């Protein structure tokens, strides 16, 4: 059976590369965007979410160790995340999550805001479907989930471009 998603590439925005006030802590923040090509005539959102969860690239601890055939995804045990864990969100809500998080330590430098515009805000506006990972129960956290202070996850589906993007915004 042909895969519904084919891994394309990853975009990484490291806040460390932008000028923040000394001691702000912003240098420990980053956004990781994994992009996948959609198969021709992809199914509805929940089936796409299931296909994403099944991809090896989904099993990324986001701790610098890379992608593994691991039992973890970010802060969570991967087997505790199903398509039903994702909640539909509009473009304003999706972008608000990242904007509020990015600005949580003070003003966001203009260059970083522009980069987030390219990698997150504009793709979220353009997307035909958007989802945010909802609240998971405490027992869904894995044994060293505390490495991430904050962890926000969006899935953006752009049927016109044929791309699904997994967006993780976190700090450690």
- Quick one: pLDDT band at residue 1, thresholds 50, 70, 90? very low
pLDDT at 66 over 80: no
Average pLDDT rounded to a whole number, residues 65-78: 69
Tell me the helix, strand and coil percentages in the chain, rounded to 5: 35, 30, 35
The arithmetic mean of pLDDT across residues 64-72, rounded, is 64
pLDDT at 92: 98
What value does the mean pLDDT take over residues 11-33? 82
The pLDDT score that the predictor gives to residue 144 is: 55
Averaged pLDDT for residues 128-152: 78
**Per-residue pLDDT, 60:** 78
Average pLDDT of 111-135? 96
Average pLDDT over residues 94-113: 92
Query: 120: which DSSP letter?
Result: I
> The pTM is what?
0.90
pLDDT tier at 70, thresholds 50, 70, 90:
low
What are the structural domain ranges in the chain?
A: 5-171
Q: Which fold has domain 5-171?
A: Protein Transport Mog1p; Chain A (3.40.1000)
Task: Categorize the per-residue pLDDT at 135 as very low, low, confident or very high, splitting at 50, 70 and 90.
Answer: confident
Q: Do 134 and 85 touch, CB atoms closer than 8 A?
A: yes
Scanning the chain, the segments in alpha helix (DSSP H) are 45-54, 91-102, 110-116, 122-126
- Euclidean distance between CA atoms 60 and 120, whole angstroms: 19
72-86, 103-117, 137-151, range with the lowest pLDDT: 137-151
**pLDDT for residue 136 is more than 70:** yes
């Amino acid at each position: 059976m042909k895969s519904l998603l084919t891994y394309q590439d990853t975009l990484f925005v490291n806040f460390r590369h932008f000028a923040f006030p000394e001691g702000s802590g912003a240098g420990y923040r980053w956004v990781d965007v994994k992009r996948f090509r959609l198969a021709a005539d992809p199914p509805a959102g929940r089936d796409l979410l299931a296909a994403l969860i099944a991809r090896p690239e989904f099993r990324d601890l986001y701790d610098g160790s890379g992608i593994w055939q691991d039992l973890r995804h970010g802060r969570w045990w991967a087997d505790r995340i199903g398509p039903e864990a994702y909640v539909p969100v509009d473009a304003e809500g999706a972008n608000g999550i990242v904007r509020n998080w990015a600005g949580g330590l003070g003003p966001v430098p203009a260059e970083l805001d522009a980069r987030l515009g390219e990698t997150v805000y504009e793709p979220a506006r353009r997307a035909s479907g958007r989802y945010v990972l909802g609240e998971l129960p405490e027992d869904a956290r894995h044994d060293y989930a505390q490495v991430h202070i904050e962890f926000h996850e969006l899935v953006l589906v752009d049927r016109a471009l044929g791309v699904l993007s997994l967006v993780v915004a976190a700090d450690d």
